[in-house]
Structure 1
Amino acid sequence: MKHVNVNVVCALCNSEVETVNYLLLECSFAKSCWGMVGTRNDNTTQVSFSDWALNDYNVWSSDERQMGVMLCWTIWKCRNDLMWNQKCMEVAEAVHSTRVALSQWKEAQDKFLDRSWELLNSDDGDELWTPPTENTTKINTDAAVYDSSNQYTYAFAARNYKGELLEARSSCKEGRTTPERAEAMGIREALSWIKERQM
């Protein structure tokens, strides 16, 4: 892993120290995004990000949950684009990007878009995460290749035996690669994480 000195001030607003809660909920850029999508974002200063997410998750509709997750992802990508690529995105552009990404994700989940849908079983596509044995960690990896945009992504998520998220990482790269190679990169990232923690 590269060790890079990063400014502790929020890259999107240059006002406050960047924390997960501040970046995704309190920053002026984030607040404007939340306001534009119309999803509730109240009392964020009183709780941690995880508490806020769990509290709102229980009262949000399914559509609000999906939009909330996708908006957090977009804000994070905007922050990284600004920090690493000096690319600045306007609020309206970020919200539009969120809606497009969410729409594409929903279409990808729709089994009926597949012409061979009649060959599917009722439980095809269903996945159930099962916890590892006590005092162990399970790491899931995944990858995707986007030929149309000349990009690929890979990611991993590590959870303990209680199902608690320990860490998740993802990366989006320019260029073409095979699905197998992208999957291997996700596994390599997970192995690096294991090595960092001397597990």
Structure 2
Amino acid sequence: MSTLTTKDLLRSRRVAVDALCPTCNAHVETIFHTLVTCSYAESCWSEAIIHMLATGLYTFPQWLQSVFQQHDKTQATSISMICWMIWKHQNNLVWNQAGIKVKEVVRSSTPILNQWRNVQYKTFNHLMSFTTQGDGAERWHKPQINNIKINTDAAIFEESHRFSYAIVVRDHTGSLIEASSKCRDGRVNPYLAEAFGIKEALIWIISNEYKNVTVETDCLQLVQAIRNSLPSYSYVGQLIQDCRDMLASLISKNICFRFVKRSANRAAHHPGRYNCSLADRVWRMGDVHSEFYNVLLEDSS
């Protein structure tokens, strides 16, 4: 928690932001203020019937150490989860203009903690969960008539500290409707980059008002996460939740996800790695270069 991107930390890194806490608008947003001394945090601790003595303490690590000394392991774990929920409230307020009610922070902390514990069990087999009979294709197949298929992929460019993601949209004849790739600055893991690709595919579906769409990716972990209903409060977890929300809005459009082997995802693999230094690109059938065209042709043959 010492790395939470509070406003005082952002300002220390010369990011021009208003320093006030978005919840109370009365004090500088520090970790200690947000999780301990803000009136909202104090209400959460009061609702949880946990007395949090902050007198004489000036930093969050000092406070946390004191708390752990006063409570047993089970209580300390619950306190940590409430801290996480308070921070989630702060983020929801900033990004979605909708906070979390104090009672909900306390009520949700226990089931979310239990869900987290469940997925930590060593008997939980990630490779066998949330897969369907249609997963694992080794070749690309044309969608049915009046259906379209979108393949997505991502690429990491370590040397330039950049990443890209691409989508390739094709109809039931295998013809290219549209392909696009976007490149962004930042050092991210492949899982996060792949999540951007999935979200881009869903945005494309919504923008173009298509229905009967299959979205394919070679990232099994991401497909499992989207099908799963467990919450995740990391940045990539928020992207996954965005994808779930968009899917919910498209429930009448018959949108499905498939995991495929990389050999069935070559068309998206190519533009994802093509766009490292170029601006965002869009291709249609008449302007694809020969190498990309050959991949499309081989898939359709």
Task: Answer yes or no: same fold by TM over 0.5.
Answer: yes
Q: 1:172 and 2:252 equivalent?
A: no
Is the contact between residue 112 and residue 231 of structure 2 (CA under 8 Å) also seen in structure 1? no
Flag the structure with larger Rg: 2
Q: Taking every aligned residue pair, what percent have the same amino acid on both sides?
A: 29
3-state SS of paired residue (2:238):
strand
**Which letter maps to 1:20?**
I
CA distance in 2, matches of 1:108, 1:43: 34
Equivalent residues in 2 for 1:107-126, closer than 5 Å: 107-110=118-121
Q: Note closer, same or farther for the CA distance 1:46–1:108 as it changes in structure 2 (3 Å cut).
A: same
Q: TM-score, normalised by structure 1?
A: 0.56
Q: Note closer, same or farther for the CA distance 1:45–1:29 as it changes in structure 2 (3 Å cut).
A: farther
Is the contact between residue 152 and residue 175 of structure 1 (CA under 8 Å) also seen in structure 2? no
Q: TM-score, normalised by structure 2?
A: 0.39
**Which letter maps to 2:94?**
M
How many residues align structurally?
A: 137
Q: 2:26 aligns with which of 15, 24, 27?
A: 15
Q: Taking CA–CA contacts closer than 8 Å with sequence separation of 6 or more, which of the two structures ends up with the larger relative contact order?
A: 2
Indicate the residue corresponding to 1:41 in structure 2. 52
The CA RMSD over aligned residues, in Å, is 3.4
CA distance in 1, matches of 2:67, 2:232: 32
Unaligned runs of 5+ in 2: 1-13, 126-188, 193-220, 245-256, 260-301
Q: 1:70 aligns with which of 63, 81, 84?
A: 81
Q: Structure 1 residue 37: deviation in Å?
A: 1.4
CA distance in 2, matches of 1:17, 1:150: 33
Q: Structure 1 residue 90: deviation in Å?
A: 1.3
**Which letter maps to 1:17?**
V
1:14-59 per-residue CA deviation (whole Å, 9 max, x = no partner) reads: 2211111011000011011111112331025523110111122133
Q: Note closer, same or farther for the CA distance 1:59–1:93 as it changes in structure 2 (3 Å cut).
A: same
Is the contact between residue 71 and residue 95 of structure 1 (CA under 8 Å) also seen in structure 2? yes
Q: 2:227 aligns with which of 147, 159, 165?
A: 147
3-state SS of paired residue (1:46):
coil
Indicate the residue corresponding to 1:106 in structure 2. 117
Q: 1:6 and 2:17 equivalent?
A: yes
1:123-159 per-residue CA deviation (whole Å, 9 max, x = no partner) reads: xxxxxxxxxxxxxxxxxx898825244976657xxxx
Q: Note closer, same or farther for the CA distance 1:150–1:35 as it changes in structure 2 (3 Å cut).
A: closer
Q: Note closer, same or farther for the CA distance 1:35–1:148 as it changes in structure 2 (3 Å cut).
A: same
